[in-house]
Structure formats: structure tokens, C-alpha cells
């Protein structure tokens, strides 16, 4: 049983535990964001096999739903360094599902090169395209081929696994945070900061923090320019997630979330998704000096954002920062 089942009696959505909870929280070293009270929730530890981080939490809800639907193949998309695609491939395989991946080129650095090698070894079926337009054109053919083979349609999951099932994971994680606050392990955060690549993490947190009765605001550091990830988009996904939970038996006595409940900022994105900006590289290097392993595409940018505006009115302290990277 997930925390969500305790909090929302009647919820029939199935949950497959893939990691140990709660993920630890601790005060961040003072030199990383000088003069600002920042707490770290270490999501990098989540995931008992293969690959860790925030994507694995999403699969805890997606894999059981795939089985419930009788799906044989998950079809999803991402950049050639997609963490999400790799997690889907590894955990899907462990739980009897094939993964079909449509990959789009992105700026290549050592981390992306490593990721691509892992994807190639993951057992997923990979199809690589120069841009999103070409992937979109090829998608019907990929779906038709897979349907013929499986005698069943693959289940299409958007980039990052950010549908309402994936976002449910971070509703659950928000309840976990509330439990850690109640247990005195950290103060009630004024802001929770996360990198935003496809929105499921931020949307789930926004809904979960409200369900948990915390006043914490979500500050999303948007790192992807391939599709809109502004506050209305995030809040829209949070509201669709609440609808899913209601459809599956939960009684949720909340009005719809409004865009004013979350802040989404693109200031640290750089030129495009995957652009390793100087601020992000500097943040990764600073973290490394404190034995904290980040990467420049997501977590480096979220640390860079805190170094710039942490403690100001748009990102009040105490801050809880999610380290969503899952190196294995
Ligand atoms: C390391 C890391 N952090 C953060 C994110 C962003 O999460 P979301 O896609 O839910 O916005 C991702 C997404 O893949 C990720 O790989």
C-alpha cells in the first residue's frame, strides 16, 4: 500500500513498490546556496534495481495500470539521453513489458553518450530521429507494427511518463514529505524546487502538497523547450490527476488548483533542452566538491536557480530541493 491509499480510502489504483521510502531528507551544505536554508530530498536513492530517480516512482503506478489494461508494450518518447526511457525499459522488462522508444537527437555530451549506450543495452526497441517532426510522422507506423506483433495496441506514454498515472507518483511523494515534516525531520518548506522536463513531478507535487495540507509552493525550473510547461499546463495536469484519483474511487474534497499555486520559470534553460549552460556546469562542479552527483541537463539547472533566486520572494525559504537524478 502506498501512502496515497491511507490518505484516500477507497482509491483502487494499483501500486507496485519499486523503491524504498521515505527517501532521506537532510540540510544541504551551506556553501552550495550561501545564506539560504535549503533542505535536500534525495530522490536519487529511489529505485531498487537498474536505474533510479523520479522516473521510477512514476513507473510504480504506470506498470500496474499497463498490466490492468493487458498491454504488452509501452511506447514512449524522449531525447537520446532520456532517463525516463531508460527507466521504462529496465523496469518494464523486469515486469514483463516491452518498451518501444522514439528518440530525438539532443546536444551530445559525455552523460548523454553514456545514457545512449545504456539505452542500447536495455533491451528496448530504439528508433532514432533528427527532430520531433520526423518522430511524429513515423509514430503511426511504429504503433501499427507493434500492434501487429503483439495483437494489441502499445500504451502510449508521453515524454517523461507525465500522464496522470505518472503524476500520481508525486502526489504520493508529497504525502511522504508531509510525514517527514510531521516527524520533525525538516521544517515545513515555503518552497519545493524541482527541475521540470515534462511536468509530472511538479504537477503531482502541487496536488499532493494541497492534499497534505501544507502551504508549500512549487517552484519549477523548466529545462525543456520542446513543449509548453508553464503554470497553466502544470496545473492542468494536476487537475487531471485529481480527476483520475476520483474516477478510481478517491473522495477528494478540493476545488481545482489555479495557476497562481505554482511558479514555472525558464530562466535557466539556456538555448534549448540539454544545453549545458555555464551556470548549470558550475552548479554541477560545486555539488561534486560536496560529494553530490548531479548532471547539467536537469539537476544542475535547478541548483543554479536556487543559487540565483533562493530566499527571494519568488522562492522563499526554507526550501526543499528534490535531487531527481538517479545515477546507477
Ligand atoms: C534527472 C531528472 N530530473 C528531473 C526530471 C523532470 O521531471 P518531469 O519530467 O516529471 O518534469 C527528469 C525527467 O526526466 C529527470 O530525468
Tell me the per-residue pLDDT of 14-60, one tens digit each, with 9 for 90 and over.
999 999 999 999 999 999 999 999 999 999 988 876 578 899 999 99
How far is 28 from 307, CA to CA, in rounded Å? 12
| Residues having CB within 6 Å of any atom of ligand 1 | 53-55, 83-84, 160, 162, 195-202, 298-299, 324-325
Per the confidence metrics, is the pTM higher than 0.75?
yes
Nearest CA to 85 among 44, 106, 115? 115
Residue spans of the domains in the chain: they are: 3-53+162-323, 55-160
Distance 149 CA to ligand 1 centre (A): 31
Residues of the chain below pLDDT 70: 49-50, 327-328
Ligand 1 atom with the smallest distance to the CA of 160 is 9
What pLDDT sits at residue 57? 97
pLDDT of residue 163: 98
Q: Strands 25-27 and 38-42, how do they pair?
A: antiparallel
At residue 111, the pLDDT reads 82
Residue 39 CA to residue 107 CA, distance in Å, equals: 31
- Dist. CA 112–CA 245, nearest whole Å: 35
| Residue 299 Cα to ligand 1 middle (Å) | 8
Q: What is the pLDDT of residue 327?
A: 65
Give the count of beta carbons closer than 10 Å to the beta carbon of residue 176: 21
What topology is assigned to 55-160 in CATH?
Rossmann fold (3.40.50)
Spatial distance between the Cα atoms of 228 and 244, rounded to a whole number of angstroms: 22
pLDDT at 328: 56
Atom of ligand 1 nearest to the CA of 204: 10
Please indicate whether the domains covering 3-53+162-323 and 55-160 agree at the CATH topology level.
yes
d(CA 222, CA 187) in angstroms, rounded, equals 26
Q: How far is CA 243 from the centre of its chain?
A: 20
pLDDT at 50: 58
Grid cell, residue 237, equals 495536469
Number of Cβ within 10 Å of residue 143's Cβ equals 16
- State which ligand 1 atom lies nearest to the alpha carbon of 325: 1
Q: From the CA of 233, how far away is ligand 1's center (Å)?
A: 16
> Alpha helices of the chain — where are they, by DSSP H?
3-7, 54-68, 83-94, 110-120, 132-150, 164-182, 200-211, 231-247, 278-289, 299-309
Specify the CATH class of 3-53+162-323 in words.
alpha beta
What does the pLDDT look like over 231-267, one tens digit per residue?
A: 999 999 999 999 999 999 999 999 999 998 899 999 9
How far is residue 91's CA from residue 268's CA, in Å, rounded to a whole number? 31
What does the pLDDT read at residue 49? Answer: 66
Q: What is the pLDDT of residue 48?
A: 79
Amino acid at each position: 500500500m502506498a501512502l496515497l491509499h491511507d490518505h484516500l480510502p477507497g482509491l483502487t489504483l494499483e501500486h507496485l513498490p519499486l523503491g524504498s521510502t521515505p527517501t532521506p531528507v537532510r540540510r544541504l551544505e551551506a556553501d552550495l546556496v550561501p545564506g539560504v536554508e535549503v533542505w535536500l530530498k534525495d530522490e536519487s536513492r529511489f529505485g531498487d534495481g537498474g536505474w533510479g530517480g523520479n522516473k521510477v516512482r512514476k513507473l510504480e503506478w504506470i506498470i500496474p495500470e499497463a498490466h490492468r489494461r493487458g498491454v504488452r508494450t509501452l511506447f514512449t518518447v524522449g531525447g537520446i539521453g532520456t532517463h525516463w526511457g531508460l527507466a521504462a525499459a529496465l523496469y518494464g522488462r523486469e515486469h514483463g513489458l516491452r518498451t518501444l522508444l522514439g528518440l530525438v537527437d539532443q546536444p551530445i555530451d559525455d552523460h548523454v553518450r553514456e545514457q545512449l549506450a545504456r539505452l542500447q543495452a536495455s533491451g528496448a526497441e530504439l528508433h532514432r530521429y533528427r527532430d520531433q517532426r520526423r518522430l511524429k510522422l513515423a509514430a503511426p507506423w511504429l504503433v501499427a507494427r507493434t500492434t501487429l506483433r503483439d495483437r494489441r495496441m502499445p500504451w502510449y506514454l508521453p515524454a517523461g511518463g507525465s500522464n496522470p498515472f505518472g503524476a500520481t507518483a508525486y502526489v504520493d511523494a508529497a504525502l511522504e514529505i508531509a510525514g517527514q515534516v510531521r516527524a520533525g525531520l525538516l521544517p515545513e518548506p515555503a518552497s519545493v524546487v524541482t527541475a521540470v522536463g515534462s511536468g509530472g513531478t511538479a504537477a503531482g507535487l502541487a496536488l499532493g502538497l494541497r492534499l497534505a495540507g501544507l502551504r508549500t509552493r512549487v517552484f519549477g525550473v523548466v529545462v525543456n523547450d520542446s513543449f509548453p510547461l508553464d503554470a497553466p499546463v502544470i496545473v492542468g495536469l494536476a487537475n487531471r490527476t485529481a480527476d483520475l484519483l476520483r474516477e478510481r474511487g478517491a473522495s477528494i474534497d478540493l476545488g481545482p488548483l489555479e495557476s497562481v499555486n505554482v511558479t514555472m520559470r525558464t530562466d535557466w534553460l539556456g538555448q534549448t533542452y540539454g544545453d549545458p549552460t555555464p551556470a548549470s556546469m558550475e552548479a554541477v562542479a560545486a555539488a561534486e566538491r560536496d560529494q553530490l552527483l548531479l548532471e547539467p541537463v536537469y539537476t544542475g539547472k535547478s541548483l543554479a536557480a536556487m543559487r540565483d533566486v533562493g530566499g527571494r520572494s519568488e522562492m522563499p525559504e526554507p526550501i526543499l530541493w528534490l535531487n531527481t537524478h538517479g545515477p546507477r
